[in-house]
C-alpha cells in the first residue's frame, strides 16, 4: 500500500470534536478553542525498546501507545480531544499489521471521543511510533507536580505492579492465576481520565501518572514541590492474586515497575473526603499510602517505610523502557 492509500485508509470521515475546522487532508490541521487552556504531550515508542510483537499484537501496541499519552493528559487534569500519529515503517510490517495498529488507537480514542487530525508516515529500519495528544482544561485548573505541601496526604489510584506482572507471565509461561487480567493490564491499560477531570473541583492537588513506577513519580513530585514525602510500602494497593509472584519481584514491580498508568498525587487533609467522594463517583479505586513531611531540610527526598517499620530512602529509579 502506498503512503496516500494508507492515509486514506486510516482517515476519519467525521469528527467528534466540534472545535475541528480542518482535520486530516491538508498541510496542517485547524481547530478553534478560546474558552479553555490547551494541554499537549508527545511520546515516541520504538520496537524492541518500548514494545514487542512477541508479547503484543499490533492492535495492543496501538492501543497502549495512545493510552500512555492519554494518561499524561489525565495527570494534568485535562480532557483529551485530538491526537496526531507519525510512524516509521520497516519492511517487516505488513499492511494488515499497520491497519491493526491504527485500529487499536481508534478503539481507545473512541472511548474518549478523540479525533485523529494528522501525522506522517515514512519508511525506515525499525518501527517507531510518535504520538502527540491535545486536550483541554478549564482556565487555571491544570494540575502540576509542584503543588504538594507539608502534611498533605499521598494517594494512589488502582493497583500497582500489574502491568509488569502481565509482562512476566507472557515471557514465563506457567500456571498463573488470573492470566487474562494481567495480560489486559499490560496490553490495554485504562487511563484515569474521568477521575482526573473531576479534580478541578479541588482547590489544590499535585498529580503525576505512574508510567515509570511510583518511586520515580513521587520523587518527581518531591523535587517539583521542594518537599520530602514518605510512602508506607504495606499500604500500596495490589491485586488479590498478586502474591503468587516471587516476593522480591512483587516489591520491585510495585515500587519501580512501569506502565501501570495509574495516578499518584497529594491533597490537603481538609479535602481528602472530597477526593474520596470523587473516586466513588467515578468508580476509581483510591488509597491513602503516605504523607508529605514537615521537613526543615533543603533536601527533597522520598522515603519508604517497610513492613519492619524501617524508614529508608527510596531512590529515583524506575522502568527503563526495555521489553
Burial pattern 162-187, b for ≥16 Cβ within 10 A else e, equals bbbbbbbbbeeeeebebbebbbbbbb
Shared domain for 165 and 115, answered yes or no, is no
- Please give the pLDDT value at position 229: 97
CA-based nearest residue to 167, from 188, 148, 182: 182
Structural domain includes residue 323: no
- pLDDT top residue among 1 and 83: 83
Q: Report, as an integer, the average pLDDT of 226-240.
A: 97
pTM: 0.90
Shared domain for 248 and 305, answered yes or no, is yes
- Please give the pLDDT value at position 176: 97
Number of H helices, E strands in the chain: 9, 13
Domain CATH for 188: 3.90.650.10
CA atoms of 115 and 265, how far apart (whole Å): 29
Shared domain for 245 and 261, answered yes or no, is yes
- Please give the pLDDT value at position 321: 46
Q: Report, as an integer, the average pLDDT of 81-95.
A: 95
- Please give the pLDDT value at position 5: 60
* Phi, psi of 252, deg, nearest 5: -60, -50
Residue 256 has pLDDT above 60, yes or no: yes
Structural domain includes residue 121: yes
Q: Specify the range with the lowest mean pLDDT, choosing from 33-42, 81-90, 145-154.
A: 33-42
Radius of gyration in angstroms for the set of CA atoms belonging to the chain, rounded to a whole number: 20
Is residue 186 a contact partner of residue 259, using CB atoms and an 8 Å limit? Answer: yes
CA 150 to mean position of chain CA atoms: 26
- Please give the pLDDT value at position 16: 76
The C-alpha cell at 231 is 510512602
Structural domain includes residue 176: yes
Q: Specify the range with the lowest mean pLDDT, choosing from 157-166, 190-199, 290-299, 302-311.
A: 290-299
**Which of 138, 157, 176 is the last residue in one of the domains?**
138
Structural domain includes residue 88: yes
Residue 2 has pLDDT above 60, yes or no: no
Structural domains counted in the chain: 2
Shared domain for 161 and 298, answered yes or no, is yes
**Which of 120, 138, 156 is the last residue in one of the domains?**
138
Using CA atoms of 51, 52, 57, 63 in order, give the dihedral in degrees to the nearest 10: 0
Residue 11 has pLDDT above 90, yes or no: no
Which residue range forms the structural domain that includes residue 101?
3-138
Residue 323 has pLDDT above 50, yes or no: no
Cβ count near 273 (within 10 Å): 9
**Banded pLDDT at 160 (limits 50, 70, 90):** very high
Structural domain includes residue 318: no
- Please give the pLDDT value at position 35: 82
- pLDDT top residue among 15 and 235: 235
The C-alpha cell at 297 is 531540610
CA atoms of 60 and 134, how far apart (whole Å): 21
- Please give the pLDDT value at position 7: 53
CA-based nearest residue to 47, from 130, 129, 127: 127
Residue 125 has pLDDT above 70, yes or no: yes
Shared domain for 118 and 211, answered yes or no, is no
**Which of 114, 138, 162 is the last residue in one of the domains?**
138
**Banded pLDDT at 31 (limits 50, 70, 90):** confident
Is residue 18 a contact partner of residue 81, using CB atoms and an 8 Å limit? Answer: no
CA atoms of 140 and 200, how far apart (whole Å): 9
Shared domain for 115 and 263, answered yes or no, is no
Amino acid at each position: 500500500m502506498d503512503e496516500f492509500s494508507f492515509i486514506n485508509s486510516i482517515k476519519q470521515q467525521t469528527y467528534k470534536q466540534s472545535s475541528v475546522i480542518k482535520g486530516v487532508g491538508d498541510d496542517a490541521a485547524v481547530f478553534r478553542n478560546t474558552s479553555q487552556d490547551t494541554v499537549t504531550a508527545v511520546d515516541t515508542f520504538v520496537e524492541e525498546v518500548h514494545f514487542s510483537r512477541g508479547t503484543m499484537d499490533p492492535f495492543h501496541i496501538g492501543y497502549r501507545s495512545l493510552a500512555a499519552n492519554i494518561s499524561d493528559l489525565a495527570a494534568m487534569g485535562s480532557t483529551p480531544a485530538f491526537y496526531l500519529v507519525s510512524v516509521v515503517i520497516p519492511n517487516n510490517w505488513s499492511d494488515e499489521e499497520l491497519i491493526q495498529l491504527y485500529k487499536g488507537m481508534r478503539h481507545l480514542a473512541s472511548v474518549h471521543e478523540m479525533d485523529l487530525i494528522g501525522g506522517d508516515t515514512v519508511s525506515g529500519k525499525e518501527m517507531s511510533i510518535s504520538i502527540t495528544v491535545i486536550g483541554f482544561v478549564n482556565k487555571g485548573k491544570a494540575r502540576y507536580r509542584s503543588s504538594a505541601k507539608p502534611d498533605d496526604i499521598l494517594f494512589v489510584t488502582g493497583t500497582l505492579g500489574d502491568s509488569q506482572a502481565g509482562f512476566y507471565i507472557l515471557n514465563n509461561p506457567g500456571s498463573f492465576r488470573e492470566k487474562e487480567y494481567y495480560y489486559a493490564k499490560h496490553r490495554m491499560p485504562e487511563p484515569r481520565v474521568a477521575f482526573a477531570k473531576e479534580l478541578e473541583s479541588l482547590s489544590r492537588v499535585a498529580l503525576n501518572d505512574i508510567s515509570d513506577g511510583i518511586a520515580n513519580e513521587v520523587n518527581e513530585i518531591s523535587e517539583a514541590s521542594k518537599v520530602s514525602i514518605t510512602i508506607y510500602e504495606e499500604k500500596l494497593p495490589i491485586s488479590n492474586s498478586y502474591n503468587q509472584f516471587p516476593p522480591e519481584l512483587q516489591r520491585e514491580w510495585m515500587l519501580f515497575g512501569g506502565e501501570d498508568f495509574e495516578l499518584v498525587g497529594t491533597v490537603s487533609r481538609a479535602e481528602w473526603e472530597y477526593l474520596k467522594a470523587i473516586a466513588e463517583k467515578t468508580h476509581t479505586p483510591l488509597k491513602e499510602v503516605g504523607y508529605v513531611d514537615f521537613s526543615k531540610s533543603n533536601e527533597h527526598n522520598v522515603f519508604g517505610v517497610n513492613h519492619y517499620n524501617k524508614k529508608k530512602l527510596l531512590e529515583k529509579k524506575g522502568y527503563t523502557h526495555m521489553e
